[in-house]
Structure 1
């Protein structure tokens, strides 16, 4: 996504104090809006239900009280928060026949959206490190991945994400905004807000490209290094069965990593010349809606322990009714 400097002259004719923004729907056709409403409602319910089942299965099954599933339950919680920052507001606006979101509501939404993206990013890196220790240093796994160390990793992820998100949100909130308050998204994002601003946005752009870039690239590099080491270790395993067993413990995480970073890179780090309104909309929907919805399915369908825990959980629920 291209972050352009908008050094517009400030004049009373083309500037006003913006108290709210208008979130434009994905389509202006009423029939398509009805279809999208049903589609997004279904995806939101599937995301919440799927991730809640993952959390409940992990918390109720003692065999899943391990670092890997501890991180997975945190990832599922963040994914619920992730979709809950955008979709309910969009669905509510559709029911009320409104497009508005208050100035404070817009920046609150943007803060929690950025927060969830950053935490997802860090948790995926932490989970890659967990798989690295499990595959490359199995004899030292229990001594390295202690409950205290796992809790520290999650707390550090939340702390760094909160500080980074607060920095960007406060710097954007200090900007002045012009009379045009239409955001061509179904949620508040940094790029359209910077384009609406009448202020000098050089500082915001610089921090997004540097600090924001580091927040994304450092965990991604850690993930790549971890999987290079994992691949090297797996290739040294003599039996084909042993190689498959070692790789199968990482396959679900690798699928989620590919989906998450693929859509993020396509949206924010691809050349601006390759962007169009349609492609931006598709990639935005992919990382804000589709990825959180698919995560529980990927982990449950490709994981025997998780499938067994879900089977026990659903069996207990149905027997108690």
Structure 2
């Protein structure tokens, strides 16, 4: 996804005169071509993530459309105060594009892991948060965000599904897509976990919904799927902190008795470096772990 991000952003800079790109050393060399063509609009600020966000806010207030990029912990967690004040408080729009996801850079240790980024950003209003599961989805989300004016976070990952589930039939909406129908419960798969969820629920009598956008949360689609069910059971599988969207489900189904289980990255810090796959299995996000959690919750 990051390679697609570089390719598409380089193209967008050629066609959108008010678009700018800000980096904080990470990935900066990937934009050498774009910097040579647009030296005033492609700026590497060095390892100064707070400044990265503040400059993005200033550019937005000056009428530009900034894209700020770094790894997730350095883009969201480290400069969170600047996001809150220099973007939200000032009413300045920007596009934040991260890489690394929760533990894609497992060899980098805890400093390069950010399972709490979506939960943290969800404490602020007005953000559209995309979690693409395929490079094609990431490209569509990026092109839409570049042409807009609002606050957008695009969370890229090295993990990807085999197909772009959110773009079936050319659709580019932000809502959930129904991948499978069932009657015993509903499982929502977010972003790059869709293929694993589909495999884990093979043969189970459950609905499977897919989402590549988690904020705003598509409660309308969820309600439509569970309509008519008695005491619906909902499982949401997210590739970041477990339970991040449980409150959103509660709000969507607030007038319906229901059960909900949030699966994702656990709070416990895993201190062995390992590989991304090993981290996923340890957090119960491998196929076997997901099937066990889902079937236990549904009672089947």
TM-score in terms of structure 2 length: 0.24
- Bigger fraction of residues in helix: 1
- Choose between structure 1 and 2 for higher RCO, CA contacts under 8 A separated by at least 6 residues: 1
CA radius of gyration, larger in? 1
- Bigger fraction of residues in strand: 2
TM-score in terms of structure 1 length: 0.23
